[in-house]
């Protein structure tokens, strides 16, 4: 028996007037997932518990079977595990985006324009992180390079008691309206402000500007937390698995849960990721004896943050055609019994360009127990609303992995 959980990050959305009232999941040509839906179960699941911020940290923990209210200590500590940072119990990890600010005048009057600095390459970002460490690193603070615009700051004997804002939640807004708050947060604000002076004229950014790309001209610090402690996935479900993702968050969750994590060349976390390479990596894992693959694709979420509706639909179609289809075809050709769960981790409505905690649709298909075909059963919000509702991602995971 083989299991696949495929997560198109942020794929959930709202009815869109430009799509004649359809959602991107309805408008996209999703041949394979809707073929599975027609002979499988479709419903809705609330991946974000009440009172928890709707981020991919909480949502993917939930879908993987872990209650975020219990296990989530913060986003950055999970990413730190993937980066290879051995956090002590007194360390605090802070997610450190390098973002694009635009405008003139005081730092506080600049505009938060791009949380991803135009999907800056990791190689470029690493040069900027080196410059940041030259300025700020000491025996208490150090920055570590992650993936693209996503990095990590470790503070030894740090505090987590600050109110910090994810930059993708406040795009197009004024810096001064979203600076860190809380006792002792001044050191974070000062680093963010000073980083602008270091980075805005850095050669990497002069080159990016010359190429018409968004510069990565300031640090934006958030997502803080202490070292996580997840129970073993194998102890929970009795199967061995692998996570395949471009981003440290998913790799980190997998590592903390005792799952394998596989890197794929050309996996970028964007609309232009190596879809085929990710599918091929999953098939290799199954051939190598793994029972389960957690396949995460960040692209739909990033398109939503950029307000790119066409890109989101294109990304959803690529995931269906270039990732899900070859894996299902492998199962069928290999004569494997298989069970597939396709579920967004959360909604990222294009209208707000950030996450919402509203329920998302799921498809569960089991090759051993096909339902009578009903082509009205589809992978989207309207069809899902007619099916079984799960009040948590981990309840859905328990259902999905039940023997
Ligand atoms: O900062 C990031 O990695 C993403 O923009 C945040 O969105 P996510 O929580 O859906 O990954």
Nearest residue (CA) to ligand 1, atom 8: 56
CA neighbor of 319 nearest in space, from 23, 18, 11, 55 = 11
pLDDT at 239: 95
Q: What is the pLDDT of residues 136-165, one digit of tens each?
A: 999 999 999 999 999 999 999 999 999 999
Q: What is the pLDDT of residues 88-144, one digit of tens each?
A: 999 999 999 999 999 999 999 999 999 999 999 999 999 999 999 999 999 999 999
Å from CA of 146 to ligand 1 middle: 13
Å from CA of 56 to ligand 1 middle: 6
Cα–Cα distance, 300 to 291 (Å, whole number): 27
* pLDDT at residue 258 is higher than 80: yes
Q: If residue 218 lies in a helix (H) or strand (E), which one and from where to where?
A: strand 218-225
| Beta carbons of 39 and 361 less than 8 angstroms apart | no
Ligand 1, from 7, 8, 55, 304: best to mutate by most atoms within 8 Å of Cβ?
Answer: 55
Å from CA of 235 to ligand 1 middle: 29
Nearest residue (CA) to ligand 1, atom 11: 56
Length of the chain, in residues:
403
Which ligand 1 atom sits closest to the C-alpha of 345?
A: 10
Nearest residue (CA) to ligand 1, atom 10: 56
Which ligand 1 atom sits closest to the C-alpha of 305?
A: 5
- Structure tokens of 257? 């849960």
- Structure tokens of 250? 């998913």
Q: What is the pLDDT of residues 195-249, one digit of tens each?
A: 999 999 999 999 999 999 999 999 999 999 999 999 999 999 999 999 999 999 9
């Amino acid at each position: 028996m083989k299991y696949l959980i495929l997560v198109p990050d942020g794929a959930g959305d709202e009815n869109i007037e430009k799509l004649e009232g359809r959602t991107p999941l309805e408008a996209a040509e999703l041949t394979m997932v809707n073929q599975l839906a027609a002979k499988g179960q479709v419903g809705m699941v609330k991946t974000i518990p009440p009172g928890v911020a709707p981020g991919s940290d909480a949502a993917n923990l939930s879908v993987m079977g872990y209650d975020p209210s219990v296990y989530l200590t913060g986003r950055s500590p999970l990413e730190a595990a993937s980066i290879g940072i051995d956090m002590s119990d007194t360390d605090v990890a802070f997610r450190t985006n390098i973002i694009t600010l635009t405008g003139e005048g005081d730092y506080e009057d600049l505009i938060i324009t791009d949380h991803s600095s135009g999907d800056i390459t990791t190689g470029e970002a690493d040069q900027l992180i080196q410059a940041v460490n030259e300025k700020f690193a000491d025996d208490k603070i150090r920055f570590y390079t992650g993936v693209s615009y996503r990095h990590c700051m470790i503070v030894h004997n740090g505090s987590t008691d600050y109110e910090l804002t994810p930059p993708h939640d406040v795009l197009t807004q004024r810096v001064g309206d979203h600076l860190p708050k809380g006792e002792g947060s001044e050191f974070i604000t000062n680093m963010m402000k000073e980083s602008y002076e270091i980075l805005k004229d850095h050669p990497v950014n002069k080159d990016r500007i010359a190429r018409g790309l968004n510069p990565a001209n300031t640090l934006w610090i958030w997502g803080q937390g202490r070292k996580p402690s997840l129970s073993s996935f194998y102890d929970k479900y009795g199967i061995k698995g692998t996570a395949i993702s471009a981003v440290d968050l998913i790799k980190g969750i997998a590592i903390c849960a005792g799952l394998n994590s596989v890197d794929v060349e050309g996996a970028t976390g964007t609309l232009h990721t190596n879809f085929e390479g990710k599918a091929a990596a999953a098939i290799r894992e199954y051939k190598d004896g793994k029972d389960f693959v957690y396949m995460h694709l960040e692209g739909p979420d990033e398109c939503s943050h950029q307000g790119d509706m066409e890109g989101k639909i294109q990304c959803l179609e690529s995931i269906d055609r270039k990732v899900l289809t070859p894996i299902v075809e492998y199962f069928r050709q290999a004569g494997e019994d298989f069970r597939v769960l396709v579920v967004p981790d959360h909604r990222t409505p294009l209208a707000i360009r950030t996450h919402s905690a509203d329920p998302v649709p799921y498809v569960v298909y089991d090759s051993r127990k096909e339902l009578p075909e009903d082509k009205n059963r589809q992978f989207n919000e309207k069809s899902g609303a007619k099916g079984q509702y799960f009040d948590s991602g981990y309840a859905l995971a328990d259902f999905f992995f039940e023997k």
